[in-house]
């Protein structure tokens, strides 16, 4: 089955061209296939860029955000997002391959980050439902309510991109990484 088409910035209608220019700026001069496909609905791409930009300016640092993205992509079986976030983690953040693999499993050697990943995992697997034990464990590890709120935001944002990439059958434009496995 064919997915949604990727919009070419050179031939896009004015609304799509404008939001694709915004995506190019947000992604350091490139336009990933995910955003080119999202541009079928400029409103969808604007919403994604707005949420991602806001969360990037939050309390959680880039390494923790990438670990959440890797975990959620792995759990949601999204090869596109897992490939993209593995590339970002390795190339942009210089994360060790063992740390990337651990994040995909929801683990970190740092107790506080580990608690955040456990919370993110429970939230994603529970489809938004969290029990008191998950919240108490995060708080016991020193995670603030503001950070818990951001974890919810990051899990939701990543689940959105996972669902979109899978539903639209977005072609992978990063070195391919398969859920449940390693880079291929």
In a domain, 114, yes or no: yes
The least confident of 59-68, 95-104, 126-135 is 126-135
Q: Is residue 2 part of a domain?
A: no
Mean pLDDT of 115-126: 97
Q: 78 and 39 in one domain?
A: no
Confidence of residue 141 (pLDDT cuts 50, 70, 90): very high
**What is the three-class DSSP state of 151?**
helix
For residue 171, what pLDDT band results from cuts at 50, 70 and 90?
A: very high
| 43 shares its domain with 102 | no
Strand partners, 177: 183
- The pLDDT assigned to 1 comes to 47
Residues 114 and 144 in one domain: yes
CATH number reported for the structural domain that contains residue 85 in this entry: 1.20.1290.10
Asked if residues 58 and 150 have their Cβ atoms less than 8 Å apart, the reply is yes
79 close to 172: Cβ distance less than 8 angstroms: yes
pLDDT digits (tens, 9 = 90+) for 11-49: 999 999 999 999 999 999 999 999 999 999 999 999 999
d(CA 37, CA 23): 12
Same domain? For 162 and 90 the reply is: yes
Confidence band, pLDDT 50/70/90 cuts, at residue 131: confident
Q: To which residue do tokens 């976030």 refer?
A: 85
Is the per-residue pLDDT at 182 higher than 70?
no
Tell me the residue range of the domain where 26 lies: 14-56
Whether pLDDT at 68 is above 60: yes
In a domain, 7, yes or no: no
- What is the band of 183 on the pLDDT scale with cuts at 50, 70, 90? very low
d(CA 175, CA 86): 9
Same domain as 45, residue 98: no
Q: Indicate if the pLDDT at residue 2 is higher than 90.
A: no
């Amino acid at each position: 089955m064919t997915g949604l088409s990727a919009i070419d910035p050179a031939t896009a209608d004015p609304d799509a061209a404008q939001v694709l220019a915004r995506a190019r700026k947000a992604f350091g001069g490139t336009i990933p296939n995910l955003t080119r496909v999202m541009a079928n609905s400029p409103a969808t791409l604007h919403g994604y860029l707005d949420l991602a930009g806001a969360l990037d300016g939050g309390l959680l640092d880039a390494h923790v955000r990438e670990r959440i993205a890797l975990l959620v992509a792995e759990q949601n079986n999204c090869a596109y997002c897992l490939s993209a976030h593995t590339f970002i983690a390795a190339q942009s953040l210089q994360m060790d391959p063992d740390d990337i693999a651990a994040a995909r499993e929801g683990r970190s050697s740092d107790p506080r980050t580990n608690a955040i990943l456990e919370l993110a995992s429970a939230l994603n697997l529970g489809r938004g439902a969290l029990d008191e034990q998950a919240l108490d464990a995060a708080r016991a590890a020193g995670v603030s309510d503001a950070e818990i709120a951001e974890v919810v935001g990051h899990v939701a944002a990543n689940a959105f991109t996972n669902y979109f990439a899978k539903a639209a059958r977005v072609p992978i434009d990063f070195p391919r990484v398969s859920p449940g496995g390693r880079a291929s």
